[in-house]
Amino acid sequence: MSTPKKIAGTFTIPVLTLLILEVICLSHGENIITNQKGFDNFVVYTAIVMITTIALSINLNSGRFDFSLGAMASLSAVVGAKISYAVLGGGSGSAALMLVITIAAGAVLGMVSGLIYVTLRIPPIITSLGVTLIYEGVLYTITSGKYVMTEVQNSSMSGFVGTWIYAAIIIAVVLVLSILLFDYTRFGYDYNALKNGQKVAVNTGIKEIPNAIGCYGICGALMGIVGFLNAARSTTINGGQLNFGSISIMFTAFLPMFIGSYISRYSNEKLGFLLAAVCMSLLNSTFAVLSNVVTASMQSIINAVLLMAFLIYLNNEKLLVRIFTGKIRQ
């Protein structure tokens, strides 16, 4: 495939998304991003969606559907918030300390989930449902079912999301490390071999169990970052998420995961996830502009319709191409 075609294929969806949504916003007398705060929120939300999408794809690409991502994000964020507040009392450096602790807590929660999966040897979707309920129960116990606010409402946390720079740094670091880890290391080679042919890979000597636990640990660390960003962005953590109430975090990644996988035909998969996250953040910014017209329930419906439409397109892509090219030849 030629370089111009790769570039065109990589950026077609993001550019079209930007143009369409900008026209919609202009028809209501505004731009997608109207001020500096809007741009800051745009970058922070892009980081949240991109990291969640990468975390979801790591196990899902290997046939392991993990429902516990949202629970890991919330629980690790609460652990990070409680410890950082106990140490610094919400003073200078609280955000940085909470981020480090949250990543570590998320990694531990992820590895525990992985150990449960490889020990019980039951379908991962069933394991993840049980782990989700356990983590939600622990979250509820720690918070007594209340919102965590005091620990995350301080100048350090608000300053972290008060500028786009920190979120952009997180995006760059996560993107580079993800590409290096999964494309240029022994761990990544083993991961891709297991993903493309598990039985053959195991027969060649690749150790599946350590790789699987490592994947769960990485997913947990990534969701720790998501939990931190969500806490800083909303200035609260919901401690009463029982009966799969935390799963909604994970569903924000489905549409960008499919869009990113499509873009990966022309570029790196992780870069595709970033561009897909940009598309979703543009859509979220558009919803903010049209908040007087588009309600929260309407936003959910629009997201669901877009997901269904994109899946229909992917399933019938070859047929549509034949129809389109046939019309051109006529």
Domain boundaries, the chain: 35-289, 291-330
Q: What angle do CA 132, 135, 137 make, to 5 degrees?
A: 105
233 and 161 in contact (C-beta within 8 Å)? yes
Q: Read off the pLDDT of each residue in 207-230 and give the average, rounded to a whole number.
A: 94
Spatial separation of the C-alpha atoms in residues 173 and 51, rounded to whole Å = 11
Residue 90 backbone dihedrals phi, psi, to 5 degrees:
80, 10
Residues near 168 by Cβ (< 8 Å), separated by ≥ 6? 43, 47
Q: What is the pLDDT of residue 330?
A: 41
Nearest to 241 by CA among 92, 128, 35, 72: 72
Q: Read off the pLDDT of each residue in 192-212 and give the average, rounded to a whole number.
A: 86
Q: Any idea how long the chain is? A: 330
pLDDT above 90 (res 89): no
Q: What is the percentage of the chain residues whose pLDDT exceeds 70?
A: 97
Q: What are the Cα distances from residue 284, in Å, to 35, 155, 168, 208? A: 15, 26, 18, 39
Is pLDDT larger for residue 131 or for residue 197? 131
Nearest to 68 by CA among 121, 123, 108, 110: 110
Q: What is the pLDDT of residue 183?
A: 92
**Fold of the 35-289 domain:** ABC transporter involved in vitamin B12 uptake, BtuC (1.10.3470)
In angstroms, how far is the first alpha carbon of the chain from the final one?
26
Digit-coded pLDDT (tens) for 32-54 = 988 899 899 999 999 999 999 99
Digit-coded pLDDT (tens) for 1-24 = 778 888 888 999 999 999 999 999
DSSP conformation class of 121 = -
* Residue labelled with tokens 């999964």: 182
Return the structure tokens found at 113.
């989930």
pLDDT above 70 (res 148): yes
Q: What is the pLDDT of residue 327?
A: 53
Q: What is the pLDDT of residue 228?
A: 95
Digit-coded pLDDT (tens) for 167-182 = 999 999 999 999 999 9
Nearest to 193 by CA among 55, 64, 265, 202: 202
* E strand segments, 15-160: 147-148
274 and 51 in contact (C-beta within 8 Å)? no
Q: Read off the pLDDT of each residue in 86-110 and give the average, rounded to a whole number.
A: 93
Q: What is the pLDDT of residue 202?
A: 83
Dihedral of CA atoms 234, 237, 240, 244 in degrees, nearest 10, equals 80
109 and 219 in contact (C-beta within 8 Å)? no
Digit-coded pLDDT (tens) for 299-329 = 889 988 988 888 888 888 777 767 766 654 4
| Average pLDDT for the chain | 90
